[in-house]
Structure 1
Amino acid sequence: MCHGHSSRQSEGGAIAILRGQGRQSGTLFNAKITLKNPEEDIPTQATFLFEKANRIPSLGSCTLIIHQDGNLNYEDTSREPLHHIPFDLYEDHVCEVSLPSRLDLGVGGQGVIGRKMSLMNSRQVIAQGIIGWN
């Protein structure tokens, strides 16, 4: 990916690789979340893929938070998130969700690229990552 060279083909949209916060959830896992806007005026489609090699937590009702910043080392609880998206996640390894609204998959303004994403369950952050181009 550096210097414009990669063997990985672009799939379009955005991607976030979330790392499970083992110290909080007791479970270590990785999740790949892809975001796509298939057609105009249709809500964003999110696909969750959890690594099968790791123990998958039981998630149930979750919240996907897209923060105003992209800093994984700092939590500014005084700022409202850019997006706060509640949904249910019951599948073991793969789940597709139609988000309640259409996200701007660009940079700056309301765009999500470069921002921190948190996956929460019962007000507890269980995984975090940064959103990038896919």
Structure 2
Amino acid sequence: MCHGHSSRKSEGGAIAILRGEGRQSGSLFNAKITLKNHDEAIPTQAIFSFERTNRVPSLGACTLIIHQDGNLNYEETSREPLHHIPVDVYGDQACEISLPSRLDLGVGGQGVIGRKMSLMNSRQVIAEGIIGWN
């Protein structure tokens, strides 16, 4: 929290920095997901980029889960997620994906700001983070 002062320029939209640890390899996994609504008639664009210092796993078919709250301290299993979004993530540097629907990039109600985001493959959570303003 920068108290209103930061040298970083706002890019608009929302951002989530997802961090995780590979259970089998023990390697760290970090991804940045930028969410943007360019035009009212099109779905939200998600831009995935991965930290170059880490070995990026081959992700393929994954699911983005946007939870009802922003608590990273426990697994949320009893409540339905706010959004359950299937995505295909290919490439090891960056990729842009058009989500199947348009997300509310605001706060409260159906808004995603302040909520936990999980990136999952078919078996486990790969990485998690909190969605914030970009």
Q: Which residue of 2 aligns with 1:67?
A: 67
Judged with a 3 Å threshold, the aligned counterparts in structure 2 of structure 1 residues 89 and 25 are, in CA distance, closer, same or farther, namely farther
Distance 1:73 1:24 in 2: 22
* Structure 1 residue 123 corresponds to structure 2 residue 114: no
How far apart, in 2, do the equivalents of 1:25 and 1:42 lie?
A: 38
Offset of residue 27 of structure 1: 3.1
Map 1:107-118; keep pairs closer than 5 Å: 107-118=107-118
Per the alignment, residue 79 of structure 1 pairs with: 79
Q: Which runs of 5+ in 2 are unaligned?
A: none
Deviations 1:83-132 (A, max 9, x none): 00001111111010000000000000000000000000113100000000
Aligned pairs (5 A) from 1:17-36: 17-23=17-23, 26-36=26-36
Shift of 1:24: 6.2
Structure having the larger proportion of residues in helix: 1
- TM-score, with structure 1 as normaliser: 0.95
**How many correspondences in the alignment?**
134
- Counterpart of 1:15 in structure 2 is 15
Partner of 1:105: 105
1:59 is displaced (CA, Å) by 0.7
Identity %: 85
List aligned pairs for 1:21-60, cutoff 5 A: 21-23=21-23, 26-60=26-60
Output the aligned Cα RMSD: 1.2
- How far the C-alpha of 1:25 sits from its partner, in A, is 6.2
1:15-58: per-residue Cα shift (whole Å, max 9, x none)?
Answer: 00000233366431210000000011210000000011111111
Q: How far, CA to CA, are the matches of 1:87 and 1:119 in structure 2?
A: 10
For 2:56, the aligned partner's letter is I
Equivalents in 2 of 1:81, 1:25: separation in Å? 28
Q: Alpha carbons of 1:14 and 1:73: their partners in 2 closer, same or farther (altered >3 Å)?
A: same
